[in-house]
Amino acid sequence: MSEIITDARPNLLEVRDLKQHFNIPTGFLKSLPLKAVDGVSFEIKDGEILGLVGESGCGKTTVGRSILHLYKPTSGEVIFDGEKIGSPQSIANMRRKAQMVFQDPYSSLDPRMTVADIIGEPLDVHKMYANRAERMERIRELMNVVGLSSEHATRYAHEFSGGQRQRIGIARALAVQPKFVVCDEPVSALDVSIQAQIINMFEDLQKQLSLTYLFIAHDLLVVKHISTRIAVMYLGKLIEIGPSDELYHKPIHPYTISLLSAVPVPDPNYARSHKRILLEGDVPSPLHMPSGCPFRTRCPRATAKCAEVMPELKEVAPGRKVACHNI
């Protein structure tokens, strides 16, 4: 796990009350808002790795895409490197310093482009070379950084394994020498043996290139291993955030406690003494969200107040924030 960043380090990214709503057609000239992200706020310090976890469909990927303005946010503020992002010029400035590694290494690479062209495309867009020889030299450097041979430059994506394709995607993200990388479940589509190699490479790159990550995943063990801090999402809202070791060993929110109880531990004695906490009921539809706290329909601590008011994400200890009325 990465070393905890001191408070003296400046914030590279600030997200304030970010909302991303999509209108879903429900009939003739009718639609309902799907609140994929509903009032998310956090910050990431320069050089830090923030892990973002939660069940599938909770809005993790949408947060990452909205930060980079791949989706235009419905409302809220994104401040990157001291600049408020929103105008075309600010978005262009951000994309020179912030990149994304996508989840699926099979669909995120153009099958009609060679590896050299895939990695070189950001260099072309941002005009980051003086001549073709300099461009090719930079592509070879990037391939070497992610563990690919320069002989692979003329091949196409379908000729590579999943792990190699993800390395191509990482090299493409690093081409513009970014300060910040959104890693959108970058190992979930890979074999377990390959996952460890890619995670270790992310850690090495972070140290070598002084990168800052938003690391999105649903595997809590992976997130704990790589992250400085962890943020937990449920149905479009942040419900807990804190240093990774503290959150992992002493979760506070009942949803986080349940999530961690499901993490397999290779110790039969521990497994017998710590039973999994099963949540009752189904995850509510994001089109028909319950009033108040979205987790109250499955929460063992829920009270009448939970149905009336959404709990505020508030600090309960240094560096720990939780959104729950009953802690």
pLDDT tens column, 73-87: 999 999 999 999 999
Average pLDDT over residues 263-289: 72
Q: Please, what's the b/e burial string for 235-262 (b: 16 or more CB within 10 A of its CB; e: otherwise)?
A: bbbbbbbbbbebbbeebbbbbbebbbee
What global pTM score does this model have?
0.90
pLDDT at 266 over 70: no
* Most confident by average pLDDT, 103-107, 206-210, 220-224: 206-210
- Give the pLDDT of residue 267: 62
Cα–Cα distance for residue pair 108/167, rounded to 1 Å: 12
List all residues 6 or more positions away from 5 whose beta carbon is below 8 Å from its beta carbon.
45, 46, 47, 48, 228
- In CATH, which of 3.40.50.720, 2.130.10.10, 3.40.50.620, 3.40.50.300 is domain 12-322? 3.40.50.300
By DSSP bridging, strand 75-80 and strand 83-84 are antiparallel
